[in-house]
Amino acid sequence: MLKFGKKVNFRPLLISILISSIFGLAFGNIFSKYIGLAIFILFFVILFNGYYFFNLPGLFSYWEYNSNIIKFNNIDKYSNRLVMMIFPYITKMKEISINDVISIQIIGSTGKLKSLDFMLPVSTAYGIFYSRMSMIKNPLGVELILKNKERIYLDASRDFTYHPKETVKELNTLISSFDPKVRKTDTLQ
């Protein structure tokens, strides 16, 4: 079984609650509990709905391939994304039979990883988002076109950022398991 990406977990919810609580308690102790509650709600909405909701496909793009089936988290629809953020372990993965795929191709570059400039003055904020920025700078994924003309993009950027050689090897295994008539990409180097 080949696995790519990271499964959605409680991290978006917990980090949003934690950071919102810190700011809410601070403002609640300094001013009043109503201002603290308002700050908590404001920060929670900004983090949970503003940051994690829109960045979920890049941060948590899990999919797996097992002989004749591809399973993935369908987080393209906003309703699925919201449910997955609140109840990550009860959502079902969407399944596709490889017989339903009429085209498969690798999108992105598997050459040398583009590194990010080292910026010491930026400090911690740069370090926190370093891996996400590296994934954005080195996009890699698999595009499937199904018999019903639906296009599905399965992201492998996270794996490529952390383990480039292993990811290329696994993507080659995936591509070579499909019929040559379906492949739009040769094996990767």
pLDDT in tens, 173-187: 998 888 888 888 766
19, pLDDT greater than 70: yes
- Identify the weakest region by mean pLDDT among 35-44, 96-105, 117-126, 128-137: 117-126
Indicate if the pLDDT at residue 71 is higher than 80.
yes
Residue spans of the domains in the chain: they are 2-9+57-176
CA–CA dist 101, 94 (Å, integer): 14
What pLDDT is stored for residue 181 in this prediction? 86
pLDDT in tens, 106-132: 888 766 655 555 554 555 555 555 566
Report the percent of the chain where pLDDT is more than 70.
82
The pLDDT of residue 151: 93
pLDDT of residue 67: 82
Cβ burial of 81 (10 Å; 0-12, 13-18, 19+) is buried
Percent above pLDDT 90 for the chain: 46
Least confident of 34-38, 93-97, 157-161, 168-172: 157-161
Write down the pTM of the prediction. 0.80
